[in-house]
A and B are shown apart, each in its own frame.
Chain A
Amino acid sequence: MSRENVLVSAAWSEENLGAPGVVFVEVDEDTTAYEGGHIPGAVRIDWRTELQDQVRRDFVDRAGFEKLLSAKGISNDDTVILYGGNNNWFAAYAYWYFKLYGHDAVKLLDGGRKKWELDGRPLDKDVVERAETNYSAQEQDLSIRAFRDEVVEAIGTKNLVDVRSPDEFSGKLLAPAHLPQEQAQRGGHIPSAINVPWSKAANEDGTFRSDEELKAIYGEAGLDGSKNTIAYCRIGERSSHTWFALHELLGHQDVKNYDGSWTEYGSLVGVPVELGSGKEG
C-alpha cells in the first residue's frame, strides 16, 4: 500500500480545488464546523444524521448509502477527498465507511482541517450545489468490520488494539476529556488488549507519522505482526484512524474496526473486563 494512494497533502488539495472528478467532503465531530467556513467546493456529510440509522444502532444500509451519495452529487467514478476536524477522526471514520461500501477512490487530506487552518489556506461559506447522481454501492465488506462475538473470541488470540487514551483504557475516564463523563457502561478495557492511543499515529499538526515511526510505535507496543488485528475505541471513530494507519499506511492485511467499541462492549452482560494499565501482570 502506497501512502500516495490513500493520502493527499494540503498543498495538493489546494491545487486541485474544483478539479474534475475530485470531490472534497468534510466530515466533522462538530457537525456545525462546516457552516463556519469550509474548503471551497466541499460538501458536508453529517456522521450523526446521515451515516447512522436514526432508529437502530447501526449504519445506514446499502440503499441508504446510495441515496446519500447520490444526493451529495458524488458518482462512482469520483475521487473523494475526505477531511475534518479533530485530527481527521470522523474523516477517517467516513473513509473506512466508504471502503465498507466499496468506494475505492477515496483519500484522506493529511492533517485535515487543522493542518489546512494552521497553514492559513482558504475557507469559504459558499453554498455548494452539485448535480444529483445515481450512485451504486456494494454490499458491506465485512473483512474490515468486527462485531462483538468476534471480539470476545479474539481475547488472547488476535491483536486487540485499544486506541483510547490511557485514562479511558484503565477505567479512570469513560469518554475523551473534552466530553462529559456520565455514561452507562462500565470502565476498563477488553482483556489482552494493548493500549496504543490513536494520537500516537499523528503529529501535532494532525498529519500521520511516517511509516518508519508507525512501525516502531506499534512494534514497541507489542502488536504481533503474525496475528490478525481488531481496533476499537469508544464509538469506532478513533479506531478508524488507527485502522487507517495499520491497514492503509502500513499495509497490514487483516485489520478490522470494531465500531461497536467500548459503548457496546462495556455494556455487555457477562463479558470479561480488565482494569488498570494492563502492564501490571
Chain B
Amino acid sequence: MSGCGAPDQSVVVTGVDTTTETVLSGKVFAEGAPVGGAYVRLLDSTGEFTAEVVSSPEGDFRFFAAPGDWTIRALHRSGNGQALVTAQGPGVHAVEVAVA
C-alpha cells in the first residue's frame, strides 16, 4: 500500500483488480485538447463531495469509487466544467470533462 499518496493519474490502470474495483477514469479537455493541472472533483449522487485529484499533464484522472451515479467536476485556470457518469458495477468506466 502506498500510504495516502494519490496514485499516478494515468489512464492505463495497472496493479488494480478491475474485477472488484469500480474505477472512473478519463480526461479533462479545454478547447478540444487535453489539459493538465485541472482540479477534478468527484461528487456523489446527492452532489456531496467525495474526492479530488489533479489531472496529469496529459489530462488524465481516475477515481476508485463504487457502483452508482457520479458527477465529475473540473476546475482550471481556463474555466470549469462537469460530466455525469453511471457505474453499473466493477470495472473501468471512461468519462470526459470539458472546461470552458
Residues of A bordering B, CB below 8 Å: 29-31, 48, 85-87, 114, 117-118, 120, 165-167, 172-173, 175-183, 197, 199, 204-205, 234-235, 237
A48, A165, A166, A204: the one contacting B51 at CB < 8 Å is A165
Q: What are the 10 closest A-B residue pairs judged by CB atoms, nearest first?
A: A199-B49, A177-B51, A178-B51, A30-B6, A177-B63, A177-B65, A178-B53, A177-B50, A176-B51, A165-B50
Interface of chain A, main secondary structure = loop
Whether B5 sits at the interface, judged by CB under 8 Å, is: yes
A178 to B65, CA, bound (A): 8
* Given A177-B50, A178-B7: A117 in contact with B37 (beta carbons within 8 A): yes
* Given A117-B77, A177-B51, A178-B51: A237 in contact with B4 (beta carbons within 8 A): yes
A273 to B69, CA, bound (A): 27
Q: Which residue of B lies closest to A198 (CB)?
A: B49
A179 to B6, CA, bound (A): 7
Q: Which residue of B lies closest to A85 (CB)?
A: B54
B4, B5, B6, B41: the one contacting A204 at CB < 8 Å is B41
B16, B51, B77: the one contacting A118 at CB < 8 Å is B77
Chain B contacts for A175, CB-based, 8 A: 64
Q: Which residue of B lies closest to A48 (CB)?
A: B3
Chain A contacts for B1, CB-based, 8 A: 180, 182-183
Contact with A along B41-80 (1 / 0, CB 8 A): 1101000111111100000001111100000000111000
8 A-B pairs with C-beta separation under 8 A: A86-B6, A175-B64, A176-B50, A177-B64, A178-B42, A178-B53, A199-B49, A204-B75
A86 to B42, CA, bound (A): 13
**Additional 16 contacts, C-beta under 8 A, given A85-B54, A178-B6:** A86-B52, A114-B39, A118-B39, A165-B48, A167-B44, A177-B42, A177-B51, A178-B62, A178-B64, A179-B64, A180-B16, A180-B64, A199-B48, A204-B41, A204-B75, A205-B75
A176 to B63, CA, bound (A): 9
A45 to B53, CA, bound (A): 20
Asked whether B44 lies within 8 Å of A166 as measured between CB atoms, the reply is: yes
Asked whether A181 lies within 8 Å of B21 as measured between CB atoms, the reply is: yes
Q: How far is the CB of A221 from chain B (nearest CB, A)?
A: 13
Q: How far is the CB of B40 from chain A (nearest CB, A)?
A: 9
A29 to B1, CA, bound (A): 14
Asked whether B21 lies within 8 Å of A167 as measured between CB atoms, the reply is: no
Q: Which residue of B lies closest to A113 (CB)?
A: B54
Q: How far is the CB of A30 from chain B (nearest CB, A)?
A: 5
Q: How far is the CB of A182 from chain B (nearest CB, A)?
A: 7
Chain A contacts for B65, CB-based, 8 A: 177
A85 to B54, CA, bound (A): 9
A117 to B62, CA, bound (A): 21
Q: Which residue of A lies closest to B80 (CB)?
A: A204
Q: Which residue of B lies closest to A31 (CB)?
A: B5
* Given A86-B52, A118-B75: A173 in contact with B37 (beta carbons within 8 A): no
A30 to B53, CA, bound (A): 10
Asked whether B52 lies within 8 Å of A197 as measured between CB atoms, the reply is: no
Chain A contacts for B66, CB-based, 8 A: 167, 172-173, 177
Q: Which residue of B lies closest to A37 (CB)?
A: B37
Q: Which residue of A lies closest to B67 (CB)?
A: A172
Chain B contacts for A85, CB-based, 8 A: 54
A223 to B17, CA, bound (A): 39
Chain B contacts for A197, CB-based, 8 A: 48-49
A48, A87, A118, A180: the one contacting B52 at CB < 8 Å is A87
